Amino acid sequence: MGFEIVQCHFPSWNFAPADAIADAGLHGRLIVGDHVEVSPQDAADLAIVEVELRRHDDIVATGRGANALGGPVDAIEWLLRLPGVEGLRPGAIVTTGTLTAAFPVEGGQSWRLVAAGPVPLGNLDLRFPS
């Protein structure tokens, strides 16, 4: 699990797709939680994992693994079918898509991602300094 902090250098987030690519895909920062080993038998269950995104103690969004292109396994399989992609290196981090909507963040906020379901992913906490 992880938090991706997106950013945009274009006023009011007005940009063309080519601008987003030139802006490093709007990627600001990636915060990744603990490594969780998932067996091949359990990998498909990642699509039914449910998450809550909390700001302080308030639930601001919910989602599930299937929100990421049908599920993380489906997203990786799609990637591996692209021309010129010959595989992934062991330990590679692939961001497969968001499970919830994105929200603006401010200094002093604390965020928590809570996962529940057949794959024990745990929780991930993030705090922005004031």
Distant-in-sequence, close-in-space partners of 74: CB < 8 Å, separation ≥ 6: 47
pLDDT (tens digit per residue) in 87-115 = 999 888 888 878 999 899 999 999 999 99
pLDDT in tens, 8-61: 888 888 888 888 777 776 778 889 998 888 888 889 999 999 999 999 999 999
- Residue 69 phi/psi, 5° resolution? 55, 35
pLDDT of residue 114: 95
Q: To 5 degrees, how large is the angle CA 18–CA 72–CA 111? A: 80
| The pLDDT of residue 18 | 87
Please write the tens of the pLDDT for every residue from 71-89.
989 999 999 999 999 999 9
Task: Report H helices in the chain.
Answer: 17-22, 40-43, 72-80
CATH of the domain at 25: 3.90.850.10
Expressed as residue numbers, the domain containing 10 is 2-127
Total domain count for the chain? 1
Give the N- to C-terminal CA distance of the chain in Å, as an integer: 24
Other C-beta atoms closer than 10 Å to the C-beta of 99 total: 21
Question: Please, which pLDDT band fits residue 1 given cuts at 50, 70 and 90?
Answer: confident
C-alpha distance from residue 107 to each of 26, 56, 64, 126 (Å) = 20, 12, 27, 11
pLDDT at 28: 81
Whole-number pLDDT of residue 4? 86
Q: What is the pLDDT of residue 63?
A: 96
Q: Output the pTM of the full model.
A: 0.82
Two tokens, residue 98: 């968001």
* One-letter amino acid of 28: G
